Structure 1
Amino acid sequence: MGKITKFVGVAGAVAGTAYLSKSENRKKVKGQLNKAVEKLNTKYVRNLGKPSDIPDAEMVDEGAMTSVQYYNRLQQKSIDS
């Protein structure tokens, strides 16, 4: 199995190099990668929520919120001072 896996990997690398040797193919691949990254980022940001949303903030575990609360208290003290 190890020889077959290596052969398939080398063949894939050679095929990828041959395909990407043309500039139009590189542009196509780069465009598709950019679209995929943009789509992934928009889904991630959309599902992340806003910190000001109270219901979302309540779902965060208390231990994870400790550092945030500490930072917020420091910020409030600097504003009040």
Structure 2
Amino acid sequence: MGKVTKAVGVAGAVAGAAYLSKSENRQKVKRQLAKITGKENSSYLKKLGKPSDIDDANMVDEGAMTSVQYYNRLQEEKTEEN
């Protein structure tokens, strides 16, 4: 069964490569992927994770540090009690 699986995989790869060799087909696939992932209609996803959002990154960083500082303070209080 391993040989059959490999043969089907190779045939699929060849068929995919043949289909994507035309520019028109590549554009169709890109549009379909954009629809599936929702990136076509969502401006939020387009700006997500851009380095130009330094203020947002700093806010997230500060929020993450707050929980770490709280945990560390609790640990210190426990060690002081013992």
Normalization by structure 2: what TM-score?
0.48
TM-score by length of 1: 0.49
Larger Rg: 2
